[in-house]
């Protein structure tokens, strides 16, 4: 996953070299992170055959399984988000970060990465149980991730512009609420998926 992110950032670097314009820098970063999330989490539940699913079914409750996968994917995406930001700033340039509210921007990057992980874990479970792998994941995932993507892009743009918490905070709280709603939905819906 890290190799995918670094190679994607490097390919973008070869195409654009250094970006000084904040909106383009921000948009390209989130596009890379979104596709990295789809790549990293797309097969979260699809790697298991029927025997392994039966083994997990007898070993743990469905809610424990989905919570464990969600936590693992959230940690993975948090680390991948920070790695992406470091590689992106190294290759593409860190000029937009100079006047930014750096703490708020890193918080938005972490909340966005974790949010992608939570939503895509739930979508991966739905797609795996429906029996249609990555195609269904992309069809279901993008419309659900789109509001989160727009919010995280707006929040990070405000943080890059140096806006304070009083302006950026409502977008961060919105992202955290989406994260909580997604975990609650996974907690409630996964046992029904697991039984099928």
pLDDT in tens, 133-172: 667 777 777 888 888 898 899 999 999 998 888 888 888 8
Print burial letters for 156-179: b (CB count within 10 Å at least 16), e (below 16).
bbbbbbebeeeebeebbebbeebb
- Please write the tens of the pLDDT for every residue from 88-129: 988 888 888 888 888 899 999 999 999 999 888 888 877 777
> Is residue 148 within 8 Å of 115, Cβ to Cβ?
yes
Task: Identify which of 24, 124, 32, 22 has the alpha carbon closest to the alpha carbon of residue 72.
Answer: 124
Q: Which residue has the tokens 């918080």?
A: 107
Count of Cβ atoms closer than 10 Å to residue 29 Cβ: 25
Q: Where are the alpha helices (DSSP H) in the chain?
A: 2-16, 22-41, 50-59, 62-91, 102-130, 134-160, 165-195
Query: In whole angstroms, what is the distance from residue 177 CA to residue 148 CA?
Result: 10
Q: Higher confidence at residue 17 or residue 6?
A: 6
How far is CA 156 from each of CA 14, 23, 176, rounded to the nearest angstrom? 24, 10, 14
- Please write the tens of the pLDDT for every residue from 48-92: 666 666 676 677 777 888 888 889 999 999 999 999 999 998 888
The token pair at 195 is 């039984």
């Amino acid at each position: 996953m890290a190799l995918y992110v670094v190679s994607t950032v490097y390919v973008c670097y070869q195409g654009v070299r250094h970006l000084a314009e904040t909106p383009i820098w921000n948009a390209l970063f989130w596009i890379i992170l979104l596709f990295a999330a789809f790549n990293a989490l797309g097969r979260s539940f699809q790697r298991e055959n029927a025997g392994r699913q039966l083994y997990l079914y007898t070993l743990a409750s469905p809610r424990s399984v989905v919570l464990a996968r969600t936590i693992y994917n959230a940690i993975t995406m948090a680390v991948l988000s920070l790695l992406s930001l470091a590689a992106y700033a190294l290759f593409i340039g860190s000029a937009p970060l100079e006047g930014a509210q750096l703490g708020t921007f890193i918080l938005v990057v972490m909340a966005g990465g974790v949010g992608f992980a939570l939503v895509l874990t739930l979508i991966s479970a739905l797609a795996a149980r429906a029996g249609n792998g990555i195609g269904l994941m992309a069809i279901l995932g993008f419309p659900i991730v789109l509001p989160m993507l727009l919010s995280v892009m707006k929040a990070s743009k405000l943080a890059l512009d140096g806006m304070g918490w009083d302006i950026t905070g409502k977008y961060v709280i919105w992202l955290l609420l989406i994260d909580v709603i997604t975990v609650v939905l996974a907690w409630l819906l996964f046992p029904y998926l697991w039984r099928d």
